[in-house]
Amino acid sequence: MITAQIIEIGPYQLALCLGFVLLAGGTSLYHKLGLGKDLIIGTVRTFAQLFLMGFVLKFVFALQASWLVLLIFSIMIAAAVHIIKGRVREQTIPFVLPTYIAMFVSYTLVTFLVTGVIVGARPWWTPQYFIPLAGMIVGNSMTAISISLDRLFSDLKIRRAEVEMRLTLGADYREASQDILRDSVRAGMIPSINSLMAVGLVSLPGMMTGQILSGTDPLIAIRYQIVVMLMIVASTSLGVLLITGLVRKRCFSNAHRLLLR
């Protein structure tokens, strides 16, 4: 068993870290990248959001209430959907509600299986396990969903003539857009698969690094990280497949006419 003293980070160390932001800001200023404002806003939001979440989690861990855990989970998904909406920027097709529902249902299922069955937390919604694991699922799959939806919409617009020709020849919306859906799902899955290929060789993921820094045996940290990596791949594939399937249907009318403009 490896035991190590946890080195606390105080206000002075946090202030020193602002030097990294100044370095990035100086680079942006020198090369006229125009990223200074975004760096400032992002840094302020990082401090504010993480400290706020820290106080919230202390309260939730002390209360141990299932409804509060699921409420926080719902808010996390709502925030992720809001970010996805900002990245995709499709106005003609209403994709926000099906995205939220699919994410909530699929990610609740995956997180339950991880916390309640694989990790064996009792109860399965124990906030110390459920919230961090759910956060990793939502955060990692958010990028995949954004990529898949953006690819779906753009390919349907670019290949509009091809899709409409298939429809006129008697194909339904599924047959007319099957290859487009397949390419969209594949595009969203690539980042997760790349992470599987690189973990341990190119990168040491955050959860594993955090556990090691806190004094956990590296072999225990590795087992948790393996669970997390496979969990993320499963949730990403499930979420992307469900959401692109639901949203694709909304791109066509009941008469199988392409609605995208």
- Residue pLDDT, tens place only, 203-250: 677 777 777 777 778 888 888 888 888 998 999 999 999 999 999 999
Mean pLDDT of the chain: 89
**Nearest to 146, CA basis, from 231, 83, 73, 79:** 83
Tens of pLDDT, residues 46-65: 999 999 989 988 999 898 89
pLDDT top residue among 152 and 1: 152
Which residues does residue 258 pair with via DSSP β-bridges, in sequence order?
252
Three-state DSSP at 137 gives: helix
Question: Can you list the alpha helix ranges (DSSP code H) found in 31-65?
Answer: 36-63
d(CA 110, CA 116): 10
d(CA 98, CA 129): 27
The mean per-residue pLDDT over the stretch 83-90 comes to: 88
In the predicted model, is pLDDT for residue 157 greater than 60?
yes
Structure tokens at 119: 């990790």
Q: What predicted TM-score, i.e. pTM, was given to this entire model?
A: 0.82
d(CA 46, CA 48): 6
Compute the Cα dihedral for 66, 67, 72, 74 and give only its sign. positive
Q: What contacts 121, CB < 8 A, 6 or more positions away? A: 115, 128, 129, 130
pLDDT given at position 1: 47
